Amino acid sequence: MAMVDAAGPAALRAASSKLDWIHALKSLRLLLKDKEDTRQVFEIMRALNGSSTAKGYQRLLATREGERIAMARPEFAPRLMDQAWLDSLPDGSVGAAYRAFIRTEQISAEGLVEISRESTPAVDDQQPYAWMGRRTRDVHDIWHILTGYHRDGLGEACLVAFSFAQTQGLGWALIALGAAARARKAKTYPYTQTIWQGFQRGKAAKWLLGEDYERLMAEPLEDARRRLNITPPTLYDAIPADARDESLAKAA
């Protein structure tokens, strides 16, 4: 899952003044029926996350390193599709863990880009907010690596809660609340507490959208987690892997 590409300033103002809750709730129902229906994530973000992308971009500009990144506006998706570059990243690094993750899961940054394009109205790619939206989309799977959450239903719900804490996007909040409401009906493990811990971890961590991701990918994974104050996912790790998808499915 990932955030939809942001529109330009005028479109962001319109989105922030009129949130489309009806469309977002319809998309949430579809997403909860099928967590692999990533298109619905983009639909929810387009309906609710108008102002958070703009605020994130302004926050990026407020730091020296962030301003440098924002002015250069590097596109990260092509880098993530460069298999030779991924293979060059050292063992034990964030990038090596990402490399293993996408190959084991048989996913790619390219696939996420295509889904986002299908779900997003055409915008000027040069708009700074559009770039910020793409940046948020492209680092989503790296956040899987940094947080230790896998792509099972519970892991995605936890990462969504983490993402809301980091971005303040209402779309992330809606998905997290929907997943938590469903998980409450399954009593075997502390699913809702685990999702809540995802939010708490996101609040405690350094702001990840301000990072230089090419540099981060070469950093040792455990060093990066310590530097970014990303605490261990203790509740998530304590739940057996085969129960993490079952948690949400039971309550369907």
From first to last of its 252 residues, the chain has per-residue pLDDT tens of 433 333 333 333 433 446 899 999 999 999 988 888 988 998 998 889 878 888 999 999 999 999 999 999 999 999 999 999 999 999 999 999 999 999 999 998 887 788 777 766 555 566 898 899 899 999 999 999 999 999 999 999 999 999 999 999 999 999 999 999 999 888 889 999 999 999 999 999 999 999 999 999 999 999 999 999 999 999 999 999 999 987 676 444
Q: How far apart are the first and last CA of the chain?
A: 20
For residues 47 and 138, what is the distance between their CA atoms, to the nearest angstrom?
19
Contact partners, residue 114, CB within 8 Å, separation at least 6: none
How many Cα atoms are found within 13 Å in the side-chain-facing hemisphere of 192?
A: 11
Give the max Cα distance, the chain. Answer: 49
Contact partners, residue 90, CB within 8 Å, separation at least 6: 96, 218
Domain boundaries, the chain: 9-250
